Structure 1
Amino acid sequence: MMRTRPLKVALLGCGVVGSEVARIMTTHADDLEARIGAPVELTGVAVRRPSKVREGIDPALITTDATALVKRGDIDVVVEVIGGIEPARTLITTAFEHGASVVSANKALLAEDGATLYAAAERHGRDLYFEAAVAGAIPLIRPLRESLAGDKVNRVLGIVNGTTNFILDRMDTAGSGYSEALDEATALGYAEADPTADVEGFDAAAKAAILAGIAFHTRVRLDDVHREGITEVTSADLASAKRMGCTVKLLAICERAADGRSVTARVHPAMIPLSHPLASVREAYNAVFVEAEAAGQLMFYGPGAGGSPTASAVLGDLVAVCRNKLNEATGPGESAYTQLPVSPMGEVVTRYHISLDVADKPGVLAQVATVFAEHGVSIDTVRQKGRQDGGGEAALVVVTHRAPDAALSGTVEALRKLDTVRGVASIMRVEGE
C-alpha cells in the first residue's frame, strides 16, 4: 500500500545537473512514486541567483537561504549539487542533524573530507549516497560498495574524466595539437571556460581517492593521490605510442600492493596497448576496469558527465535513499576497517617510455645505457633517429622494463646531467600490459 504523505526533497543547486534533477522529478513523478512506494515532493530549491528564470520550477520553491532550508526539520532527503568544499560540507552535516539523508554529486568534498560526512551520517542514522560523484550515469559506486562487498578488489583502472579523454582522442585520431583539441572541447561544451580542474588532473584525482577508499576499505584523501595532467602531452607522444601499438589516456589507477599491506592511488597520462579495453574508449566517454579476486575483470562504460547522465545517477540514489527511509533503514556507510597506508609514488612499479634529445655522435647510447644500469632500470627497447633539421642532434626513445618510480626519477635526473643529453623531451608510463 502506498504511503499518503510524500517524502520531501530539498535541492541545493539548480545548475545543469540540479535543473535536470528537478525536471525528472516532475515529469517522472508517477513512476518514482511506484518504484519508491510513496510520492516524492520537491519542497525547496536553494540557489544563488533567485531572479534567474528556471523553466518548470515553481518560483515559490526558490530560496537563497540554503541553511534555513536544510534546517526545516520536515525534509526527508537533501540533494546537494552545488559542489565545492564550503558551504556544501556545513549544509550536508546540518541536514543530517535535522533529520535528512543526503544524496551528493560532490567529488571534491568527498575526496577532501569524506570521513567527516560519513561520521555525521552514522551519528545521526542517515544515508549518504554519491553515485554521481565519480562517473556520471555509470553505475560504479554501488557495485563496489554492495555487489563486490564479498570480494577482494585488487585494482581499479579507469578513464574518469571526459574532457581529457576527448582531447587525447582528438590528438590521436585527428592529429590535432593539444591547444586545438582543447578549443574544440570547449566549443562542444566538454571543457569549462577554465579547464584547469580537468586538464591538470584534479577532477580525476578526486575520483581516484573516492574509488580507492571504497575498493580497498581504507581512507584515501585527495592529498594521497599522485596527480599529473595532460598539458605536457604532445603529438610526438601520440606518434610514439602508435609505433608501439598503443594510445595515450589519462588514467586513474588504484592498486593494492602485492603483499596486501598498502595501496596506491595515482592519476597521470599513460600509454596503453590498443588491445586493452580502455584503449577503445572514445571522445568524452568514461570507462573503469575493475579487477577482483573472485569476480575477475569487470568493465563499466558510459557517459561520465553532463546534465542528464549525472541526474540519472542522482535520481537512482534518491530512489534508494527514499526506500530506506520508508523501511526505517540505512544503506552502507563508510568501510575503512583495513586502515591500509597509502604508499608514495616512488614505490609504484611500472614501465616507462622516455624520449631524449641527444648529441648525434658515437658513444651516446652507451652512456645513456650506463645511467639506466646504475639506477637499476632495465632497458627493453631503444630507438634512435637523427633530426631532419640537422644540428648534430638525434631523438633517442627508451622503453624500460618494470621499475620503481623512484628509480626512474633518479635515472632521469642523472641523464639531465650528461653533456650529451640536450634535454628530456617526455616521460610517460606504460600501463595495461
Structure 2
Amino acid sequence: MTKKQGTILIVDDNRNILTTVRMLLDSIFANIITIANPNSIPAKLREEHPDVVLLDMNFSSGINSGNEGLYWLREIKSLSPKTEVVLFTAYADIQLAVTGIKEGAADFIVKPFDNEKMIGTLLEARDRNKAADKAMGKNGGKDSNSTMYWGNSEVMSNLRNIVEKVAATDANILITGENGTGKEVLANEIHRLSARSEKKMLPVDMGAITETLFESELFGHVKGAFTDAKTDRPGKFELADGSTIFLDEIGNLSYSLQAKLLTALQRRSIVRVGGSTQIPIDIRLICATNRNLQQMVNDGDFREDLLYRINTIHLELPALRQRKADIVPLANRFLRQYGNIYNKVCIRFSEEAEQKLTSLPWYGNIRELQHAIEKAVILSDGGMIAAEDIDGGNQTRREKPLEEVLTLDEMECRMIEKTIKECEGNLSVVAARLGISRQTLYNKIKRYGI
C-alpha cells in the first residue's frame, strides 16, 4: 500500500467534486485541504505549504474559457514556485492544456476523470516536488528559506506592515542587518509582492565582482571592447529590465565604482563597455549590507549622494536574538524540512531542547540556527532531539594564539581579525596598515567569514 505523505490543496467550486476527490486521495496524501473559493489560495499556500495543488480551471458561472485557472496558476507559481500544479477541467481543450503546461503546470486532468489516472498523475507531481526538495538538500539547501517567515514578534510585525506598504511602489530600498538575518529572503519577498513579480528578481553579489569586471558585469560590453569580448553581452542592469535588481553587499563597493553606479541610477540608463549608445533601464533597486553606511559616509568611504539614492526606504532586519518568540517556530520549520530530506518525518524537539534553543544567543542568526537543526537531525538516533543535540549559538569563536595557528590561511585570518579590532572596525585604516587595497580586504573578510 502506498505510504500516506505530502500535502495537497484541491480548489474547485463544485463541493461534490471536492468530497469525491478527498475520499479518493485519502489513502495517498497525509494532508488534504479543500477550498471552493480560489481567493483563499494565497492564505492556504502560506499556512499549509502544499506539495501539489489540483486546480479547477473555471469558477465564474457561465465562463468556461479557462482563463481563471491560468490566472491562479500564475499566482501559485509566483507565490510558491516549488509547488506542483495539476490543472482540472471539464473541457478537453488540448490548446488550453499546452498553454497551462507552458505556464508551469505539471499536468492536466480532464473531467470526468479516471480514478487510477488521477491518482497516478497526482503521485507523480508529489514525488517530483519531494525529489526537488531532496536535490536542494544535497546542494546545501540554497532555496530552503525562500519563503519569508514573519513570525509573531512585535519587531517583525512592524517590519511587515512597512513592507506591505512599500512593496507595491518602485521606491529604492536599503535592507540592513547582521549576517544570516535573511536580507536576500526579504528582498525576494518585496519583489514577490511588487508589480514586477512576473519576472524573476536578479541578485548581484557586489563583494564578488572585481573592480576590473564591474562595468562589464553590471553594464555589459560590446564585441571587441577588450581581449575576451568575442560578442556583445548585456549586463545585469539590462537583464533586470522590467524587474528588480538586488545588489547585495553594497557596502563593499569601492569609492570609484560608487560614482559609476550613481551615474547609472541617476540617468536611468547605461552604456555598455566599448559602446556609445545610452540604453534606458527600467529597474526597481533593492540593496543590502551588514555595514553601517552612514558611518562609512562619515569616514569618507561611501558617497553620501549614493546613500540618498539607494535609501528611499530603509528596512532593518532584527537579529534572531531580538525576536526570541520566533526561534522555536523557525526551528520547527527547519526540523520538518530536514526531517523530510533525511527520512525522519516524525522527529521532534524535547521540551528541554526548545528551552535551550531560546536561551542561545545565535550570533549567526537564522543561518546558524538552520545549520544547527540540520546537524541535529542528521546525528539524531531516535525520534526526539534532546537539548544536548543542539550545538550552536556560541557567543564568540575561541581565538587561538598566533603560535598555535597551523596554516597560512589561519594566520592571515587571525591577523586581519586582530587589525580590525585594533582599528575599531575602520576598514580603510585596516587595509592601509596591512598594505592591501580595500577591495582585497573585503574579499578576504568574505572568504574567512570574519
If the length of structure 1 is used for normalisation, what is the TM-score?
A: 0.27
If the length of structure 2 is used for normalisation, what is the TM-score?
A: 0.26
The structure with the largest helix share of the pair is 2
The structure with the largest strand share of the pair is 1
